[in-house]
């Protein structure tokens, strides 16, 4: 496994996906099913990691997910994901979830999720990922916080 990959900036991994919430995604209360939001969060996180690693990835850990506001059928759900930490083969990604009422334009931040993925080579074995380049003090802080979260996850294993 080579570890001499050139660093890549955090912003290069940034990805946004948007999807209109349809009746098929409703729970018994008529809001969007939490499991559906989790699936979209996982997809957005994986895409950001694939962009960073330029490899296929698998989810290894999902932190606690707290839904602060319901997302309604007819809302546009917008997920923005960015890699916040790169280890040897693992990456943490932050996913922000926003619901937009497309008629009024009102936007609600419903949750932030942190997930960890591992990059795999063609044989399905963990493979090195490029180091993450933090380009300003705010990004450096985010990377430090991500490292602390990753240390806590590994300590809990």
Ligand X SMILES: CC(C)(COP(=O)(O)OP(=O)(O)OC[C@H]1O[C@@H](n2cnc3c(N)ncnc32)[C@H](O)[C@@H]1OP(=O)(O)O)[C@@H](O)C(=O)NCCC(=O)NCCS
Which region, judged by CB under 6 A, interacts with ligand X, from 9-17, 19-27, 30-38, 55-63?
55-63
58 binds ligand X (CB under 6 A): yes
Which position's Cβ is nearest ligand X?
87
Binding ligand X (rule: CB under 6 A), the pick from 61, 62, 65, 133 is 61
Binding ligand X (rule: CB under 6 A), the pick from 54, 101, 135, 154 is 154
147 binds ligand X (CB under 6 A): no
In the structure encoding, which two tokens stand for residue 76, read together? Answer: 């546009």
Binding ligand X (rule: CB under 6 A), the pick from 25, 84, 89, 111 is 89
Q: Which residues contact 103 (CB under 8 A, 6 or more apart)?
A: none
Cβ(80)–Cβ(15) below 8 Å: yes
88 binds ligand X (CB under 6 A): yes
Query: Interface mask (CB under 6 A) for ligand X, residues 103-142, using x and -?
Result: -------------x-x-------x----------------
User: If binding means CB under 6 A, how many residues of this protein chain bind ligand X?
Assistant: 14
C-alpha torsion angle, residues 98, 103, 105, 108 (rounded to 10): -30
Q: What single DSSP character describes residue 45? A: H
Rounded to whole angstroms, how far apart are CA atoms 100 and 81? Answer: 17
Query: What are the helix (H) ranges across the chain?
Result: 34-53, 137-156
φ and ψ of 96, to 5 deg: -100, 135
Nearest approach, Cβ of residue 87 and ligand X (Å): 2
Cα 108 to the center of its chain, rounded Å: 18
Residues that bind ligand X in the complex, under the rule CB under 6 A: 58-61, 87-90, 116, 118, 126, 153-154, 157
């Amino acid at each position: 496994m080579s570890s001499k990959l050139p660093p890549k900036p955090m912003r290069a991994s940034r990805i946004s996906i948007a999807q209109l919430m349809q009746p098929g995604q409703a729970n018994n209360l008529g809001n969007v099913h939490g499991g559906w939001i989790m699936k979209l969060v996982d997809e957005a996180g994986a895409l950001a990691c694939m962009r960073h690693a330029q490899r296929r990835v698998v989810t290894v850990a999902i932190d606690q997910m707290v839904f602060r506001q319901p997302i309604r059928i007819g809302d546009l759900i917008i997920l923005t994901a960015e890699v916040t930490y790169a280890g040897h083969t693992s990456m943490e990604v932050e996913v922000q979830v926003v619901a937009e009422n497309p008629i009024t334009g009102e936007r609600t931040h419903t949750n932030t999720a942190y997930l960890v993925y591992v990059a795999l080579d063609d044989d399905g074995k963990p493979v090195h990922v490029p180091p993450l380049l933090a380009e300003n003090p705010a990004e450096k802080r985010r990377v430090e916080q991500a490292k602390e979260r990753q240390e806590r996850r590994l300590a809990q294993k």
